[in-house]
Structure 1
Amino acid sequence: MNQRNFRNSFLVVLLLISGCGPQSNQFSTKLDVMSEQAVPEQPASFSLAQAPNRRPDFDEADTESLDADQSSENAKTNRRIVYNTHLSLVVKEYATFESKLPALVDQHGGFISNSETNRRYNNRQSGEWVARIPVANYVAFLRGVTGLGFAESRTEDAQDVTEEFVDVEARIRNNKKLEERIITMLEERTGKLSDVLEIERELSRVREEIERMEGRLRVLSDRSALATITIQCREEKEYVPPAAPTFSSRIQKSWSHSINAMKQTGEHIVIAAIAILPWLLVFGGLILVSVAVGRRLLRKRSK
């Protein structure tokens, strides 16, 4: 009886030992799953500001407004504008203007690209100057130039070339990547000579396109970095700025214009008559000779 009990107890212990391995693995797996599920979820009211090392989020409206402000600021900073200005000045002393303008250009960090001076009737001088001024000093330079004389007229033209500038930059980058791929293909190519020559022709075409676009980019950079200001200046020692026209001044102006028109018409008629006179003399002489010859022929026939 005791032996039977001992045998049964021994079998039970063996069964328990053999079943401990997989059960322990399943148990450990279940523990892992439970440990992951046991992590407490953060409540909906939990604020990111309460979490350590985390920045509080903005509202969507605030984020959109900040992005819009930043994009507009970047657009203003990276914008490329080409400025062309034509200024007409009247000065009392052209020599004074001629000596002060180069100093003013140097003061604002620019240079004079072209200048021309002409002498008119009664030793009056006039000229045209083309100045290239950095865009940052453009307004200050215009203010200084207009202080040298009376500005009769000013025409300003601003052209935004930002889109073209960005487009040319992108095309240059793409063509340079294409150039690198073609060079790699050329180095690895071991086929026919015609294929190699075709690759080299394509490489030459791509490089020529890159050089052309780089030249255009340099032109845009130069024109957008320096404003072009054309100054036309003339000397008038007794110049009086035009005042607002009145009724009497308009009548006087119309009368003087009519008198001048009549005078010019009469002068044109006299000049035209003088120009026609030699032709009248020549053709009149030929007509007289022809009439005389015709009369003689008629007389001979009548006899």
Structure 2
Amino acid sequence: MKKLFLFLIIVLFSFSCKKSEALGLDKVMKEDEVNVPPPPKVNQVKLLKPVIINSEESIAVEKIEQKIIKTGDIRFESNDLEETYSHLIIAVKKHHAIIQNDTEGKDYSSVFRRLVVRVPSKNFDLFLADISKGVTYFDNKDISSQDVTEEYIDIDARLKAKKVLEDRYLELLKKATKVSEMLEIEAQLSAIREEIEAKEGQLRYMQSQISMSTMTIEFYKTVANEGGATISYGSKIWNAFKSGFNEISNFFITLLSIWPFLIILALIAHFIRKRLKKKTV
């Protein structure tokens, strides 16, 4: 009986310990939940205004301008060359263009005039539209655009690099104390300067082609062929007779020019004929 009573006491004691531990754990968890700060409300979140960086503080990004070279070549027929030329001159003055070359000529069946015009690139399309007015059709119309942006940027970058190198050599020249060093640096500077001038020349020429487009304009008028008139039958016979007489004259003139060979051939033929007669006798 004592043993049963002792067993019950031990069971109750262990049960009470477990319950107290559970109550303690729940209390700790509730305290932790109380101590955890609540999540911030949406209206408590502060939005930062975007900061605008001044252009002086930011890295300057240069906008690359496209470099285009435009050229045109057109050819058309005109009923009046002078009127067409006057019309072209008006268009040239209107669009601030210049005539670089003016050529006139005549071929087998037409007379023509060819103009090479330099027109500002921004006015190229308007100039082409103006000079095309009144033209029924073009014998030839070739309009092209060449993008040289990459080539232009490459040359410009090389030019800047050469100028930086030139400045460095100039600083070295100021610090040089020996004559040999000065001469060597000056030789390098001379070579660099030549390259800089060559690059600058390429850029100037390219910029000229970009800013001023080239338009070649040729217009012509068909004329009657002088040898195309109708020839009568009697005239044809007379011309044939004269042609035959001329051929005979040329033949005799040719014979006269080779008379020594003819005499030699005649003597040889006479000698052979004489020998043959002797054999037959």
Q: Same fold (TM over 0.5)?
A: yes
- After TM superposition, the structure 1 = structure 2 runs for residues 269-280 of structure 1, keeping only pairs within 5 Å, are 277-278=250-251
Structure 2 residues not aligned, in runs of 5+: 1-36, 53-60, 225-239
Match of 2:86 in 1: 99
Match of 1:224 in 2: 210
Contact preservation (8 Å) 1:81, 1:224: yes
State the distance in 1 between where 2:167 and 2:248 align.
75
Aligned-residue offset at 1:216:
0.3
Q: Given the superposition, is the C-alpha separation of residues 224 and 48 from structure 1 closer, same or farther in structure 2, using an over 3 Å criterion?
A: farther
* Residue among 47, 68, 80 paired with 1:50: 47
State the distance in 1 between where 2:187 and 2:92 align.
48
* Residue among 151, 161, 167 paired with 2:154: 167
Q: Given the superposition, is the C-alpha separation of residues 46 and 233 from structure 1 closer, same or farther in structure 2, using an over 3 Å criterion?
A: farther
Contact preservation (8 Å) 2:105, 2:111: yes
Match of 1:249 in 2: none
Contact preservation (8 Å) 1:48, 1:54: no
1:215 aligns with 2:201: yes
Aligned positions, number: 211
Aligned-residue offset at 1:83:
1.2
Q: Percent identity?
A: 27
- After TM superposition, the structure 1 = structure 2 runs for residues 1-303 of structure 1, keeping only pairs within 5 Å, are 50-51=47-48, 53-54=49-50, 74=63, 78-119=65-106, 125-150=111-136, 151-191=138-178, 193-236=179-222, 277-278=250-251, 281=255, 285=259, 288-298=262-272
2:163 aligned partner, one-letter code: K
Aligned-residue offset at 1:166:
0.4
Q: Given the superposition, is the C-alpha separation of residues 55 and 199 from structure 1 closer, same or farther in structure 2, using an over 3 Å criterion?
A: closer
Q: Given the superposition, is the C-alpha separation of residues 285 and 154 from structure 1 closer, same or farther in structure 2, using an over 3 Å criterion?
A: same
| DSSP 3-state at the match of 2:50 | coil
| DSSP 3-state at the match of 1:131 | strand
Aligned-residue offset at 1:207:
0.6
Task: Identify the range of structure 1 (214-223 vs 94-103) with the bigger mean alpha-carbon deviation.
Answer: 94-103
Aligned-residue offset at 1:236:
3.9
State the distance in 1 between where 2:96 and 2:255 align.
68
Aligned-residue offset at 1:85:
1.1
State the distance in 2 between where 1:137 and 1:47 align.
60
Aligned-residue offset at 1:282:
5.5
Indicate the structure (1 or 2) with the bigger Cα radius of gyration. Answer: 2
1:54 aligned partner, one-letter code: P
TM-score (norm 2): 0.64
Aligned-residue offset at 1:84:
1.6
| DSSP 3-state at the match of 2:71 | strand
| DSSP 3-state at the match of 2:165 | helix
TM-score (norm 1): 0.59
CA RMSD of aligned residues (A): 3.8
State the distance in 2 between where 1:49 and 1:89 align.
73
Contact preservation (8 Å) 2:75, 2:140: yes
Structure 1 residues not aligned, in runs of 5+: 1-39, 57-70, 239-266
Contact preservation (8 Å) 1:80, 1:165: yes
Contact preservation (8 Å) 2:74, 2:142: yes
1:171 aligned partner, one-letter code: R
Cα offsets for 1:51-94 (capped at 9, x unmatched): 3x4269xxxxxxxxxxxxxx9xx55xx11111121100211100
| DSSP 3-state at the match of 1:156 | strand
